[in-house]
Amino acid sequence: MTRPRPRRNSRPGGAATGYLGPDGRLWQVPAYPRPVVVLDTDVVTIDGRRYPVRPGQEPRDAANPVLVELALRLRGEAGAIHADVRTTGSEQSWPVVVTGTGDVFDATPTSSGSGTRRNGRLLLAGGGVLVAVLGLATAVVVVVSTSSAPAATVAVVAGPAPTGTPVPYPQLPPPGFSQTAAWSAPIDPGTTPVITTTGQIVTVSPPGAGERTLDVRDPATGITAWSAVLPRGAGTGSEGVRLSQVEGHESVVATTSTDLTWWPTDGEDHTPRTVALPVGAVVSFAGSTPLVTWPAQHAGILTDSTPTTGAALTDLAVPAGAVAVGATAGTVIAVNSVGQLWRLTPATAQFPPAPVATAALVPGASALESVAAYTAPTPAGATPELLVLTWFTPDPAVRVVSLLDATTGAPVGAPVTVARSDLTGGWQTSEHNTLGTLGRVLLDTTVPALRTLPAGWATTAISDTQVHGSAASTPMVLTPAGVATPTGSGVIPLGVIPTVVIPGAIAAGLAVVTATAGTLTTLYGLPTSTTPAGPTPSVPVPAPPALRPTNPVPSPAPAPTSGAAS
């Protein structure tokens, strides 16, 4: 989804003001951007984003290099920006100026700078308090940790706690799950919680609770295992927060108009990593790792282990006429409208290699229509990377859908034949890209195989374990094997965790659901019901009869399209 990418803190107004630096140089500084910095002994915060201060380190020594990097990116070596600095608990702030050449000094117009230099950097003094400055980590390649800095963990931020006791769920539960929730917790109504591969539930704190936080909860109790402050503008809208993988670590990813931030969910180190997004960038989660694309045939993949710079965005050139559709394990996958497939790596950087393969015509097809989707489940390598292809047939009303291995270019499994009208609705995928639907076609990547769904099918929600939707106005839930079960009026769960040990009992499964009352949205964990349920009919979905061409004389196939959807 293409979104505009305005610069952070950019706003109209405010003529430039002249400030004399310590060396007597006159700097013309515009009123904005003007980040707000709050200082504490162990953390510095800017516009809601927190940065840890290492033991024994002064906040200014952690802050100044980052702020200089920001000024250099936004204004260049000949420019400077403002920052408003204050200490925790104080309402009094001091304006400072930071230049692209590395100077930071008090913002006293037309007078000599009042800062003093130490170790080649300027320190700020104001109101009798020594203050440090922190800038936005938004350089083209951003340093979020260095080899000399020990790994820091994100401090747990106090937020709304779960009830701690079982509570009734105020709606009809999904079939097979209890009316009594094991726990509940308030969440942000504007975002969708996601479930990690280990069963932890990632939510965003509700509005009005102070700084917006990312909360990672234990599925058995709903209690927050760890939290992190969200950058301003992150985790909102239809994208919210997403799960992906960066260099082998499952991570929660959030984007703003200018930055991409992620937190590893495994291990003990949940320190945020941040990279700047180029102007016009779009982020895709079709692969097992985030893909960043921007104009002029550029694609980027994230790295988290560069020895000297930490997190970074590696820029790769996409072949002319091709589109980058996904990324996994340090590789960008690109295709064009005739089915040529490229695998781009940092080793090929600005010189794309020859195509790996070209999609071969499948039985019953006359020409390639488009690459409808790319998917690579998380964790990487669990199942093949796949392209979903749609093909023209001699009948203009009929299409063939097939799979292509994005590693080798070989066809995968048997294609399916459906009516053209059955492919509406776009590509929808589960949180780890395990299941996906393209209209009436279901992809199970664990087999992998394509299946057709009931006539008139429309997907409403999809998770790694089930697909919810309706056919002929009947709400249904589908297993990955394509078995449909009517659901009645039960609520659609965000996901089902197969096995969760709840205090005092062992639950075979836990459904994660929400309910909204007024402006309050609450998350619930519903264990498997202990009350035997009545028989619920299951409807196996047979393969549809083959659709024969209605025109005995093959008509010319339309020209292949040029787009590829991620």
Q: Are 22 and 123 in contact (CB under 8 A)?
A: no
Number of folded domains that form the chain: 1
- What letter would DSSP give residue 395? S
What pTM did the predictor assign? Answer: 0.62
Q: What distance in Å separates the CA atoms of residue 248 and residue 478, rounded to the nearest whole number?
A: 30
Give the residue among 406, 401, 463 at the shortest CA–CA distance from 435.
Answer: 463
Query: Is 104 part of any domain?
Result: yes
So what's the pLDDT on residue 358?
A: 93
Per the domain annotation, does 56 fall within a domain? yes
d(CA 324, CA 303): 18
First to last CA, the chain: 10
For residue 417, the model assigns a pLDDT of 96
Q: H-helix or E-strand containing 423?
A: none
Residue 230: inside a domain, yes or no?
no
Q: What are phi and psi of 510, to 5 degrees?
A: -140, 125
Sign, CA dihedral 288-294-300-301, equals negative
90 is a domain residue: yes
For the chain, 566 residues long, give each residue's pLDDT as a single digit of tens.
Answer: 333 333 333 333 345 677 787 777 888 888 767 777 778 877 777 666 666 777 777 787 767 777 777 777 677 777 888 888 888 877 777 888 888 888 888 875 443 333 333 222 333 333 222 222 222 222 222 222 222 223 333 333 333 445 557 889 988 888 888 999 999 999 988 788 889 888 899 999 887 756 788 999 999 889 888 999 888 877 655 456 888 888 888 899 998 888 899 999 888 888 888 888 888 889 988 888 999 999 988 999 888 765 555 688 888 889 989 999 999 888 999 999 999 999 998 877 666 678 989 999 999 999 999 999 999 887 766 678 899 999 999 999 999 999 999 988 999 999 999 999 999 888 888 888 889 999 999 999 888 999 998 888 888 888 888 888 888 778 888 888 888 888 876 788 888 888 887 776 666 789 999 998 878 889 999 998 865 444 444 444 444 444 443 333 334 444 444 444 43
Instruction: Determine the pLDDT at residue 342.
Output: 93
**Residue linked to tokens 């779009």:** 282
Contact between 362 and 415 under an 8 Å Cβ cutoff? The reply is: yes
pLDDT at 202: 93
Structure tokens at 536: 């619920």
In a domain, 336, yes or no: no
How do strand 331-335 and strand 323-328 relate by DSSP bridges? antiparallel
Tokens representing 443 are 């992809």
What does the angle CA 102 – CA 103 – CA 107 come to, to the nearest 5 degrees?
145
**CA dist list (Å): 115 to 104, 106, 124, 136, 566:** 8, 6, 5, 21, 51
185: nearest Cα among 215, 228, 154: 215
At which residue do the structure tokens 């796949």 appear?
Answer: 386
Residue with tokens 């304006």: 95
Q: Is residue 220 part of a domain?
A: no
Task: Report the pLDDT value the prediction gives residue 160, as an integer from 0 to 100.
Answer: 42
Query: What domain range includes position 115?
Result: 17-131
Between the CA of residue 144 and those of 249, 256, 313, what are the distances in Å?
17, 17, 12
Q: Is there a domain that residue 6 lies in?
A: no
The sheet carrying 213-217 orders its strands as: 194-195, 201-204, 213-217, 224-229
Residue 138 phi/psi, 5° resolution? Answer: -130, 35
Based on C-alpha coordinates, what's the Rg of the chain?
A: 27
Cα–Cα dist 462/479, whole Å? 10
Q: How far apart are the C-alpha atoms of 67 and 70, rounded to whole Å? A: 5
**Domain-embedded: residue 49:** yes
Cβ-contact 27, 128 below 8 angstroms = no
Taking CA 519 as the corner, what is the angle to CA 517 and CA 521, rounded to the nearest 5 degrees? 60
CA distance 237 to 7: 18
Query: CA–CA separation, 183 vs 161, rounded Å?
Result: 10
Supply the pLDDT for residue 424: 86
SS (H, E, C) 150-213: CCCCCCCCCCCCCCCCCEECCCCCCCCECCEECEEEEECCCCCCEECCCCCEEEECCCCCCCCE
